[in-house]
Structure 1
Amino acid sequence: MSTPPKAADRPAAPAESLRGILLSRGYGKLLLLSVLLGVPIALACFFFVSLQHEIQHAVWESLPRAVGHAEPPWWWPLPSLLLAGLLLAPVVTRLPDGGGHVPVHGLGGPPLGPRALPGVVFAALATLPLGVVLGPEAPLMALGSGLALLAVRSAKRTAHPEAAMVLGTAGSTTAISTILGGPLVAAVMMVEAAGLAGPRLVVLLLPCLLASGVGALVFTGFGEWTGLSIGALRLPSVPPNTGPDAGDFLWGVPVAVLIALIVGSAHRLGYVTEGWTARRTAVRTVAAAVAVGVCISAYALVTGRSPAEAALSGQVTLGALAADPHAWPVAALVMLVLCKGVAWGICLGALRGGPIFPAVLLGAAAGVACSGLPGFGTTAALAVGIVTSASVVTRLPVTSAVLAVLLMGPDANNQMPLIAVCSVVGFITAQLLERKSPPGPS
C-alpha cells in the first residue's frame, strides 16, 4: 500500500494559492501601481473626451450658427463625413495598428501598446466629432492600455509579461469606467469577458476594479471642478413607471427578439463593409464615410429633423429620447433606426471607434417605437431596447444588464426582472443568428 503524500508534497489548494498571491510583495506592488496608474489615465481620458466634445460642439452647433443656420442643415453631414474619411484614410493604411481595432469585432482583442496611441488618438479626435456613428469607448480603452503599458516599459518591468498584461487590462478598465457609469460596469465586463475562473479571475479583477474606481473618482471630480462636459453615457431622466406588469412581459420578449434582429443585421453589415474595405482601403474608407453622410442626410431630409440626431455616437439623442419619448413620432423613430442602423453598420467595418453607444440608441429608439402596443409601457420599452441592443453588440449579457440598470436610475428596481430576461433573450438571439450565418470578412 502506498503511503499518502506529505502535506509539503501535495499541490496547494486553490484558496491557499490565491492567498499566497494576494499576500505576496509583488502583487502588493501591482495593486499600488494600479492606483498610481489610475489617476493619470483618468486625467488623460477626461481631457480626451472633453476635447472631443468641444470639437463636436463646434462642428454641429457653433459652426452652423456662424454661417446662418439655427441647426445643421440636411446636407451638413456630406462635407463633414467626407472630411472624416479623408483624415482617416492615411491613418488606417500607414500608421501602426491602423488607428485601433476594427469596431465590428467589439471591444476585444489584445491591449494596444504605446505605438498605436498616436493613430488611435488622432483617428478618434479627427473623425468622431465630424459625425462618425461610433462611440468613444474603444479609443478610450486603447488610450488606457497604451498609457499603462508605456508606464510599465518606462519602469523596465517588461521582464514580467503577466504583470504587464494585468496592468494593460487595468488601464483599459480605468478608461472604460470613465464613460460607462463607473467601476461596477467595468469590473463586471472584465469578469464576463475574461472567461477566467478561480484564482486567476481574482488576480486580474482586483487591479482592474481598484484602478477603475480611482479613475472614475478623478474623472467625475474633474468634470465638476472644470465645468467641462465629459459626454458619459447616461440618461438625465426616464419616464416614471410603477414597474413592469403582464403586458410589459408579454410584449417585452418578442420586442427584444425584434430589436436583436435589427441590431444584429446592422452589425452583420459591418462584416460586409470590412471585407469590402480590405481591398483598396484608402479609397474605400473615404467612400464608406461619404455613404454614412448620405444615410444621415437622408434621415434629415425625410423627417425634417436635425441630422445630428442620426450622426455621432448617439449619447445626446439618447438622453433627449429618454427625457421626452412622446415628442418623437413613430415615423421619425423608424427612420432613425433605419438610417442610423445602416450608417452604424458601415462605420463598424470601415471606420474607427466604439460599437456600443450607437447600438444602445438604436435599441432604445426601436423599443420606444413599439411602446404604442397595448399594455406596453414606455419605460419598459426603453429598458428592453437598451439591454437587448447592448447584449447583442457586446455578447456580454450580465454586463449589459448592469449597464441598463445603471442607466434606468431610480426606476431600475422596477425594471430589473424585465431587464434580466431581455438581456438573455437578446444574447441568445444574437448567438442563433451568428450560428446560422457565421460572420467574417469576405
Structure 2
Amino acid sequence: MTEQAATAPAPMPLKQLAMLAIPALIVGVASALILWLLNTGAGLLEGVLWTSIPSSLGLPDDSRLWTFVVLTVIGAAVGLVVWQIPGHAGHDSATTELVAPPLPLKVIPGLALAVLLSLAGGVSLGPENPIIAINVAISVALLGKLWPKIPPRLILMLAAAGTIGALFDTPVAAALIFTGMAASIPGPGALFDKLFLPLVSAGAGAITMTLLGQESMAFPVPPYPQAHAIDLLTGTIIAAVAVLLGLAAAVALPRVHTLFHRMRNPLIYTTIGGLVLGLLGAIGGRITLFKGLSQTDQLLTNYAQYGFWTLLSFALIKVVALVISASAGFRGGRIFPAVFIGAALGLAAHALVPSIPVGLAVGCGAFGATLAIARDGWVALFIGVITSGGMTILPILCIVILPTWLMVSRAPLMLVTHPVDGPAAEPEPAGKGA
C-alpha cells in the first residue's frame, strides 16, 4: 500500500450517509413542489391568455393576430421584470449552463415571475435552467441554516438532482447528468456512494411529480420494433441532420444575442424579441410555441396529418424561435425545445421515407438535436430512448453517437460567453463557498 493510499481520508461513514438521506428527501420533495407550483401557475395564466380572453373577444382559437399580440405583450412584461424588479431576474439564461452557482434569494421573485410569464406566454424555452436556479438558491439558503455542516456543493447537487428528477419524471436523467459531476468530487469512495444522495433527491422529486399528476415525457410513439443494419445508416443520417441544425443555432446564438443587447434596455430588446416570436408563431401556428413538451406529444399523436414540408417547417421555425427566445432576455432552458425540434425532424424524415420506423426517426432526431444544443451525451441518449417508445433503439444510438459526438465535441456551445451589457448582466454574488 502506498503512503498516499494509507493517509487518504476514509469514505463517508454509512451512518452519516443514511442521515443525510433525510435532507436529500426533503430537498427532492420541495424541489418538485416548487416546480409544480410554477407549472400550475403558468398553466392557469396560459388558460387566461390563450383561451378565456380570446374567447370573450370572439377570436378563433388559432388567431394569428392574437398570437402576435400576446407574445409582444409578454415580451414587454418580461422586459419590465428584468429591468425593474430587484435582482433583474437573475443571470441571462443564454449565459448559463443547466446547473449554475447559487443566486441570492432576493433574485428569486423576479426570476420566478419572468419564467411564469414566458411559460404562459408561449416563449420557446423550457423551465429547466431557471427552476434549478430557484430551487438551488432556496435550498442553499435554508439548509445552510438548518444543517450548516452540509457542504454548499452537496446542497446544490441535491436541489439540482431533485429538480431534474421532477422535470423528467425519473431519477435516471439526474443520475446520468450527475455522473460526471460526482466523479469529480475529491476523496475516496465508490462512484455510487457519491451519487447516492443526489439519486435519493431525484427519486423523491420524480415520485412527487408523479403523485401530483404532472405531465410526463411518455410520448405516444409506435415502439421501434427491431434493429436492422440499414437502421444504423438512416439513424445516423437523421441524427446528423439534427446535429447540424442544432449547431447552426449554437453558432447563431451569440451573434443574435449581441444584436439584441446593443439596445441596452431590457424593455426594448425583450419587447422586440416578443414581437419577432409573435410573427414566428403566426407563421408556424401554436404548435411551434411554448416549451415544447405538450406540443411534442401533440405532434406525435397527429403526425400522419402533416406532410414533409410542414414538419420540416415546424422544426426550422422552432429553431429560430429558440434562438430568439434565448437571445432576447427571456428566462428559460433549451432542452425541451430541442426535443420538439428533433421530433419534428424525425417525423419529417419518416414522411419523406415511410419505410423508416417512426420510433427510430423520432428517437434519432431528438437525440441529435439534444446532443448539439445541450452538449451532453448522457442526456441525449436518455432523450433518444424516451422519445423512441422503448429501449430497442439504445444499441443503435450507442453507435450513432460515435460520428455525431465527433461533430459536436469541438463545435461552439449554445452558450453566450462574452460580457453582457445591461442591468441583468451581473446579479450579486451568492457569497463565498457557494
TM-score by length of 1: 0.84
CA distance in 2: counterparts of 1:369 and 1:28, whole angstroms: 49
2:51 maps to a residue whose letter is: E
| Further displaced range: 321-330 or 400-409 | 400-409
Establish whether residue 365 from structure 1 lines up as the match of residue 340 from structure 2.
Answer: no
Report SS of the residue matched to 1:17.
Answer: coil
Q: What does 1:187-202 correspond to in 2, within 5 Å?
A: 187-192=175-180, 196=184, 199=188, 202=192
3-state DSSP of counterpart to 1:127: helix
Which residue of 242, 248, 258 maps to 2:231? 248
- For residues 219-244 of structure 1, the C-alpha deviation after alignment (integer angstroms, 9 at most, x for no partner) is 21122xxxxxx334331x11244223
Matches of 1:421 and 1:96 in 2, distance apart?
49
User: How many angstroms does 1:430 deviate by?
Assistant: 2.1
CA 1:45–1:11 in 2, change beyond 3 Å: closer, same or farther?
same
Structure 1 range deviating more: 421-430 or 313-322: 421-430
C-alpha deviation, 1:70, in angstroms: 4.2
Could you tell me which of 133, 151, 154 is aligned with 1:163?
151
From 385, 393, 403, the counterpart of 1:415: 393
AA at the equivalent of 1:369: A
Q: Kindly indicate whether residue 25 of structure 2 is the aligned counterpart of residue 41 of structure 1.
A: no
Match of 2:265 in 1: 281
Structure 1 residues 10 and 48 mapped into 2: Cα distance closer, same or farther (>3 Å)?
same
- Taking a change above 3 Å as real, the CA distance of residues 233 and 103 of structure 1, as seen in their structure-2 partners, is farther
Cα offset, 1:309, TM superposition = 0.5
Residues 1:296 and 1:64: Cα distance change in structure 2 (over 3 Å): same
Task: Name the stretch that deviates more: 67-76 or 363-372.
Answer: 67-76
C-alpha distance in structure 2 between counterparts of 1:364 and 1:392, whole Å: 14
Distance in structure 2 (CA, Å) of the matches to 1:204 and 1:118: 32
Aligned-pair Cα RMSD in Å = 2.7
Residue 424 of structure 1, CA deviation: 4.2
Identity of aligned residues (%): 23
Question: Does the 8 Å CA contact 2:250/2:412 hold for their aligned counterparts?
Answer: no
Say if 1:149 and 1:168, in contact at 8 Å, map to a contact too: yes
Please state how far the C-alpha of 1:49 moved relative to its aligned partner.
1.4
Does structure 1 retain, via aligned residues, the 8 Å contact 2:343–2:366? yes
**TM-score normalised per structure 2:** 0.86
Letter of the 2:265 counterpart: T
1:51–1:374 Cα change, 3 Å: closer
Gaps of 5+ in 2: 420-434
Could you say which residue in structure 1 is the equivalent of 2:281? Answer: 296
Alignment correspondent of 1:340: 318
The 8 Å contact of residues 45 and 143 in structure 1, kept in 2 or not, is answered as no
Q: Output one character per residue of 1:29-87: Cα deviation in whole Å (capped at 9) or x when no partner.
A: 43321122222232222222122122223322343333324423112222111112111
Q: In structure 1, what is the equivalent of residue 140 of structure 2?
A: 149
1:215 aligns with 2:208: no
Which residue, out of 376, 381, 385, partners 1:396?
376
Deviation at 1:206, TM superposition (A): 2.0
Equivalent positions of 1:20-419 (< 5 A) are: 21-23=12-14, 25=16, 27-95=17-85, 98-104=88-94, 105-155=96-146, 157=148, 160=149, 163-192=151-180, 196=184, 199=188, 202=192, 204-223=194-213, 230-235=214-219, 237-279=220-262, 280-282=264-266, 283-299=268-284, 307-350=285-328, 351-371=330-350, 372-373=352-353, 375-409=355-389, 412-419=390-397
- How far apart in 2 are the matches of 1:238 and 1:191? 29
Report the Cα offset of residue 139 of structure 1. Answer: 2.1
Please state how far the C-alpha of 1:320 moved relative to its aligned partner: 1.8
CA distance in 2, matches of 1:152, 1:220: 25
In structure 1, stretches of 5+ residues that fail to align are 224-229, 300-306
The answer to whether the 8 Å contact 1:396/1:427 transfers is: no
1:279-307 Cα shifts (integer Å, max 9, x gaps)? 313211221221111112122xxxxxxx2
Provide closer, same or farther for how the CA distance between residues 407 and 259 of structure 1 changes in structure 2, counting only shifts above 3 A. Answer: closer
Q: Residue 10 of structure 1: CA displacement?
A: 5.5
Give the 3 Å change call, closer, same or farther, for CA 248–67 of structure 1 in structure 2.
farther
